[in-house]
Structure 1
C-alpha cells in the first residue's frame, strides 16, 4: 500500500468517526474510536506508542508517545483544540525525527468539517545521512 493509499484509508476512517461524534469531545475519545475503526479496516495500529530519544547511542524513555502509529510508518497525532498552531506542528515533526519516519497526519477533531482539521506533515530526511544532519520541514495539505 502506498503512502497515498494509506493516508486516504486513514482519513476515511477519521471522517467516519467525526461524522458519528462531531466536534467537542476529548482527544482520548476520538483516539479510541479511530483506533477501533482503523483496526476494523484491517490496518495494524499501535496506540500510545513510546518514542525513545537516542542520546549518545543510548535509548532514553523521556515520555514521548505517539497517539497512533499505523502500519509501522504513519504517525497520527490527534487533537481536539480550537486551532492547530506551531507547537502542534513542532510536536509532530519531533515524533517524525525520533521515529525516523517520513509521514504524519495531524488531525484536529474540534472542527465543523474534518477536512479543515487535517494537516499532512512530511519529514524530509535523508536515509544516508546521520541523525544529526536530519532536515525536517512540513508540507501542509488539508486534503492529503
Structure 2
C-alpha cells in the first residue's frame, strides 16, 4: 500500500543517491553528466525509474504534442528534475508542478548539483493535492 511515509522514504533514498553522485563528482559539471550518473546510482540502488519520460497531454480527448520530458520518473510516484544552476528559480518550480499535475503524481524533487551541499541547499521538495489525499 502506498502511504505518505513510503513516498517520503523513497524521497529519502533518491536524495541519498544524489548526495552520493555529488560527493563523487562535486559541482561545476553539466546537468547531462549528473543525469547519467544518477541513472547509474539508481540502478545500483535497485530503484525503478524511467529516464527522460515524455509527459503526455490530453485535452478533451486529443493528445497534444508538447516536448515535455521529466528527467526521472521514479516508481511512478516521484518526479525528479535535475539542475546544475546557480539558483532554483520559480520557473523550475512551475516546470515540476506542471509535470506533477499532468501525471497525477503526488511528489516532485528538484535536485541542483551546482550547490555546495545537496542535502542543505541543493534540493527542493514539492507536493500537491494528490499527496495530501494519500494515507499517512
- When normalised by structure 2's length, the TM-score is 0.89
Give distance in 2, aligned partners of 1:6 and 1:111: 22
Contact 1:51 1:61 in 2 (8 A): no
Contact 2:107 2:131 in 1 (8 A): no
Give distance in 2, aligned partners of 1:69 and 1:104: 9
Give distance in 2, aligned partners of 1:126 and 1:105: 13
Aligned to 1:101, the other structure's residue is in SS state coil
- 1:125 Cα shift? 4.2
User: Which residue, out of 27, 37, 41, partners 2:41?
Assistant: 37
Q: Does 1:76 align with 2:80?
A: yes
Task: Give the structure, 1 or 2, with the largest relative contact order (CA under 8 Å, sep 6 or more).
Answer: 2
Aligned to 2:43, the other structure's residue is in SS state helix
Indicate the residue corresponding to 1:28 in structure 2. 32
Cα root mean square deviation, aligned: 1.8
Greater helix content: 2
Equivalent positions of 1:42-53 (< 5 A) are 42-53=46-57
- When normalised by structure 1's length, the TM-score is 0.84
Q: Does 1:117 align with 2:122?
A: yes
Where in structure 1 are there 5+ consecutive unaligned residues?
A: 129-144
Give distance in 1, aligned partners of 2:125 and 2:69: 19
Indicate the residue corresponding to 2:13 in structure 1. 9
Indicate the residue corresponding to 1:95 in structure 2. 99
Indicate the residue corresponding to 2:58 in structure 1. 54
Aligned to 1:66, the other structure's residue is in SS state strand
Q: May I ask how many residue pairs the two structures share in their alignment?
A: 128
